[in-house]
Chains A and B, each alone.
Chain A
Amino acid sequence: MGKSDNRVDEPTGTEFVGHEWDGIEELNTPLPRWWLYTFYATVVWALVYVILFPAWPLIEKGTEGVLGWTSRGQLAEEMSVADQARASVREEIARVPLERLSDNAPLMQQAVAGGRAAFQVNCVQCHGSGAAGSQDLGYPNLNDDDWLWGGDIRAIEYTLVHGIRQPGDPETRQSIMPSFQGILDEGQVNAVVDHVMSLSGQGPSNAAGAQLFEQNCSICHGPAGQGMRQFGAPNLSDAIWLRGGDRADIRAQILDPKMGMMPKWEDRLDPVTIQMLAAYVHSLGGGEDFVEVAEDPEVEVDEEP
């Protein structure tokens, strides 16, 4: 503060500080003293805070604070509280038979919500975040009503547990679409393609193709091309094509077949999470009702198509 000459501004009765800029002078209007004390109090607060909590960034890590509080620790604590809150729901899901889950609407909702979360972590890499799959890469769409290996909740769970064409799991879903390269000649392949196109109403029928289909394909795909779920043989008569439905796609699949592979999850996820995943996939809109004897997924599948 500059030197005060004890002069007083007449209109306000306030003392001058002594600073002057181009004839404009500063008046000494004092702040209330409690204001100053409030400022000191915030300084004290800051000191206490710095001692109690992590504050100063150092080269390796920051100062830790006397209370030992960390944001990670708080997160871990809150996560464990959340896990405990979920424990009863998980126990309940484990207790209820999977096919009876839909009788208990709130529990089913919890299972679907848990399944959605697990799906976003483990399944979206292939099936996509909307479970719509990819036709280019042959990952099936899980929203529709077309199921290669069965669409009731038990069948979905079985697929999740054992996977599809998973090496090393004797119970995995297994089948092979053979290549007809060298078995059928060019004309025969075209005839078969014609016949397959006609199954879904995309072209005229072809007698030669029908006969070749009868001899070579109907064992797995069925006489009318309706598919067979024991072998994961796709339905060729519907509107859904896993790997494309035009001539070139069908031809490629006859000569150089691609077969999907899905990992088994029983080693990586706990049974309740798998059940929740099955409930989620089943809930996407194409889930089928479980019928006790509809399919026996444990039937040994013959390699021969």
Chain B
Amino acid sequence: MKNPEPQLHHSPLGTYQARTKVHPQRIDGFFRRFKWLIMLVTLGIYYGTPWIRWDRGPYAPDQAVLIDLANRRFYMFNIEIWPHEFYFVAGLLIMAGIGLFLVTSMVGRAWCGYACPQTVWTDLFQHVDRFVDGDRNKRMRLDAAPWTAGKIARRLFKWSIYLLIAFATGGAWILYFADAPTLIAEFFTLDAPFVAYATVFILTMTTFILGGFMREQVCIYMCPWPRIQTAMMDEKSLTVTYKEWRGEPRGSVKKALRNPDEYGDCIDCNQCVAVCPTGWDIRKGPDISCITCALCIDACDRVMDEVGRPRGLIDYLTLEDSQGETRGQDHRPTWKKVLRPRSILYFLVWAGIGLGLLFALGARSHTEIAAAPDRNPPYMLMSDGSVRNNYTLRLRNMEARPRTMRVGIEGLEGATMWSETMNNEDAARTIEVDVPADATRNLRVYVRSLWGTPAQDFTFSVTSLDEQAESDAVETRFVTPGEE
């Protein structure tokens, strides 16, 4: 492409660009209050959850949500997940993924605008800015001011608040991995494990840097999600839109008074840009910088009220609607745009996985058996001509109390078994085994068959000797000399 009339660029760009600091202005309105609510709920969940207690009896921890890595258990209220059931976690992650698809297909970047931790913490830090340094104009003046003692003191004060928030954030994280009251006491008496301090340090620093300084740079340069989102959104997804057909050409109230026919509704007050937490001008259209937090809607609505023009110059619209309205169509109700086959299908898939997980959770057995035959040697010939095979049984008791289980042989006529903790004189068709609470017991058992028994498959069965009487069985093979 050859430009016949080369434009001169007056602020030449280098290869690298300094960040333009964003100083969003205070605003109040529907979406701002909604954001406050979401911040309250999400931060409340994050900081509060480790402190919820949940009684599980004497053999399990009483913390409602606990990721017990050392003992490889995940507790969530009355659900307990073992490592072999990690598919539940995988299922939850898949649900979270499809949930993002669902939300994005309907309401665009709502995750980015309201619920993303980067957004929530950035918002929190920006409130700290406002609290310490004042609103937009004061902050911009202070930013440009020379480094006097006053400014240094102010900055140090602000950064200490940043650090405090960051420390609380990193500190809360580790409480999910151990008993919260115990760990917090150990943490401050310097008795906690090194990994706790390392984790808190790393998360404190990432929160401090990402929330306090990187802010919108994370969304624009580092986060993969905005890139993926473009594939999730279509012309029927809601996004924050400046109604160009209504606003342009923009001009001040005075100019519009002089020539009412020449100007649109936008009075070019730049309030939408002033309140934007990423510094984007929504009038340029959607962009990776626009996280659709809708604060510009609040700002523009207030201005429109003041100048006596209808609200909604900036509004949540779909691309389809904005094209339609450009052609002069009427505004359609929002629910009609959002409910459509694609989003319903996403919802059905999402709900189907959720129901499947719930069903699997309710139907799972808390008693399991697995058998591993010894392969070296595969069989032992005994003095009296009988043959012995050794097996390692894994008896799993997923209840939070010790249980006695009956292990038996099914098939393999005449064979008897005894365990490593028994005498072989006590060998029998069934043996009783105590399995500790919430644990898997590895037990070596010896199965001895009568002389002349051919090699064959047989079954180990297990039944819990309590009112649940859960049972499980596993098939394995009995090997004899010459027949494997």
The answer, among A4, A35, A105, A141, for a CB contact under 8 Å with B221, is A35
Tally the A-B contacts, defined by beta carbons under 8 Å. Answer: 98
Question: Assuming the A-B contacts A30-B14, A33-B16, A285-B390, are A145 and B9 also in contact, with contact meaning beta carbons closer than 8 angstroms in the complex?
Answer: no
Are B19 and A33 in contact, CB atoms less than 8 angstroms apart? yes
Q: Please give, as numbers and ranges, the residues of chain A lying within 8 Å of B385 by CB-CB distance.
A: 238-239
> B374 in the interface, Cβ–Cβ < 8 Å?
yes
Q: Please give, as numbers and ranges, the residues of chain A lying within 8 Å of B421 by CB-CB distance.
A: 105
Are A34 and B217 in contact, CB atoms less than 8 angstroms apart? yes
Q: Please give, as numbers and ranges, the residues of chain A lying within 8 Å of B221 by CB-CB distance.
A: 32, 35
Are A144 and B381 in contact, CB atoms less than 8 angstroms apart? yes
> A128 in the interface, Cβ–Cβ < 8 Å?
yes
> A255 in the interface, Cβ–Cβ < 8 Å?
no
> B144 in the interface, Cβ–Cβ < 8 Å?
no
Roughly how many angstroms separate A286 CA and B6 CA in the complex, as a whole number? 95
Are B13 and A30 in contact, CB atoms less than 8 angstroms apart? yes
> B8 in the interface, Cβ–Cβ < 8 Å?
yes
Roughly how many angstroms separate A35 CA and B451 CA in the complex, as a whole number? 77
Roughly how many angstroms separate A14 CA and B7 CA in the complex, as a whole number? 11
Q: Please give, as numbers and ranges, the residues of chain A lying within 8 Å of B217 by CB-CB distance.
A: 32, 34
Interface string of A30-42 (1 = CB under 8 A from B): 1111111000000
> B23 in the interface, Cβ–Cβ < 8 Å?
no
Interface centre among A6, A15, A30, A285 (most CB of B within 10 A): A285
Q: Please give, as numbers and ranges, the residues of chain B lying within 8 Å of A143 by CB-CB distance.
A: 377, 380, 388, 390
Are A8 and B7 in contact, CB atoms less than 8 angstroms apart? yes
CB of B372, distance to nearest CB on chain A (Å): 14
- The SS class assigned to the B binding surface is loop
> A152 in the interface, Cβ–Cβ < 8 Å?
no
> B261 in the interface, Cβ–Cβ < 8 Å?
no
Are B19 and A34 in contact, CB atoms less than 8 angstroms apart? yes
Are A6 and B377 in contact, CB atoms less than 8 angstroms apart? no
Q: Please give, as numbers and ranges, the residues of chain A lying within 8 Å of B382 by CB-CB distance.
A: 144-146, 239-240
The answer, among B6, B9, B16, B381, for a CB contact under 8 Å with A32, is B16
CB of B289, distance to nearest CB on chain A (Å): 13
Are A28 and B13 in contact, CB atoms less than 8 angstroms apart? yes
Q: Please give, as numbers and ranges, the residues of chain B lying within 8 Å of A31 by CB-CB distance.
A: 15-17
Q: Please give, as numbers and ranges, the residues of chain A lying within 8 Å of B423 by CB-CB distance.
A: 289
> A211 in the interface, Cβ–Cβ < 8 Å?
no
Question: Assuming the A-B contacts A15-B13, A30-B16, A35-B221, are A130 and B383 also in contact, with contact meaning beta carbons closer than 8 angstroms in the complex?
Answer: no
- CB-based nearest A residue for B389: A285
> B420 in the interface, Cβ–Cβ < 8 Å?
yes
> B148 in the interface, Cβ–Cβ < 8 Å?
no
CB of B482, distance to nearest CB on chain A (Å): 13
> A262 in the interface, Cβ–Cβ < 8 Å?
no
Roughly how many angstroms separate A30 CA and B9 CA in the complex, as a whole number? 15
- CB-based nearest B residue for A289: B423
- The SS class assigned to the A binding surface is loop
CB of A245, distance to nearest CB on chain B (Å): 10
Number of interface residues of A (CB under 8 A): 39
Roughly how many angstroms separate A45 CA and B461 CA in the complex, as a whole number? 59
Q: Please give, as numbers and ranges, the residues of chain A lying within 8 Å of B390 by CB-CB distance.
A: 143, 285
> B363 in the interface, Cβ–Cβ < 8 Å?
no
Roughly how many angstroms separate A36 CA and B15 CA in the complex, as a whole number? 10
For residues 136 through 167 of chain A, which have their beta carbon under 8 Å from a beta carbon of chain B? 141, 143-146
Roughly how many angstroms separate A232 CA and B18 CA in the complex, as a whole number? 89
Roughly how many angstroms separate A178 CA and B86 CA in the complex, as a whole number? 65
Roughly how many angstroms separate A285 CA and B390 CA in the complex, as a whole number? 8
Interface string of B1-34 (1 = CB under 8 A from A): 1010011110011111111000000000000000
Q: Please give, as numbers and ranges, the residues of chain B lying within 8 Å of A146 by CB-CB distance.
A: 382-383
CB of B392, distance to nearest CB on chain A (Å): 12
Question: Assuming the A-B contacts A15-B9, A144-B382, are A132 and B15 also in contact, with contact meaning beta carbons closer than 8 angstroms in the complex?
Answer: no
Q: Please give, as numbers and ranges, the residues of chain B lying within 8 Å of A129 by CB-CB distance.
A: 376
Interface string of A107-133 (1 = CB under 8 A from B): 000000000000000000000111110
Q: Please give, as numbers and ranges, the residues of chain A lying within 8 Å of B451 by CB-CB distance.
A: 239
> B446 in the interface, Cβ–Cβ < 8 Å?
yes
For residues 182 through 238 of chain B, which have their beta carbon under 8 Å from a beta carbon of chain A? 214, 217, 221
Interface centre among B374, B381, B451 (most CB of A within 10 A): B381
Q: Please give, as numbers and ranges, the residues of chain B lying within 8 Å of A1 by CB-CB distance.
A: 15
Question: Assuming the A-B contacts A30-B16, A32-B19, are A130 and B376 also in contact, with contact meaning beta carbons closer than 8 angstroms in the complex?
Answer: yes
CB of B390, distance to nearest CB on chain A (Å): 6
> A256 in the interface, Cβ–Cβ < 8 Å?
no
Are B446 and A238 in contact, CB atoms less than 8 angstroms apart? no
For residues 16 through 47 of chain A, which have their beta carbon under 8 Å from a beta carbon of chain B? 23, 25, 28, 30-36
- CB-based nearest A residue for B387: A239
> B426 in the interface, Cβ–Cβ < 8 Å?
no
Roughly how many angstroms separate A25 CA and B6 CA in the complex, as a whole number? 15
Which positions in A face B, CB cutoff 8 Å? 1, 4-10, 14-15, 23, 25, 28, 30-36, 105, 128-132, 141, 143-146, 235, 238-240, 283, 285-286, 289
16 chain-A/chain-B pairs, Cβ below 8 angstroms: A7-B7, A8-B3, A14-B13, A15-B9, A28-B15, A31-B17, A130-B374, A132-B377, A144-B380, A145-B382, A146-B382, A238-B384, A239-B385, A239-B451, A285-B380, A286-B380
Which positions in B face A, CB cutoff 8 Å? 1, 3, 6-9, 12-19, 214, 217, 221, 374-377, 380-385, 388, 390, 420-421, 423, 446, 451
New contact pairs (12) apart from A7-B3, A30-B16, A34-B214, CB-CB < 8 Å: A6-B8, A10-B7, A28-B15, A33-B16, A33-B17, A33-B18, A34-B217, A130-B374, A141-B381, A143-B377, A235-B383, A285-B390
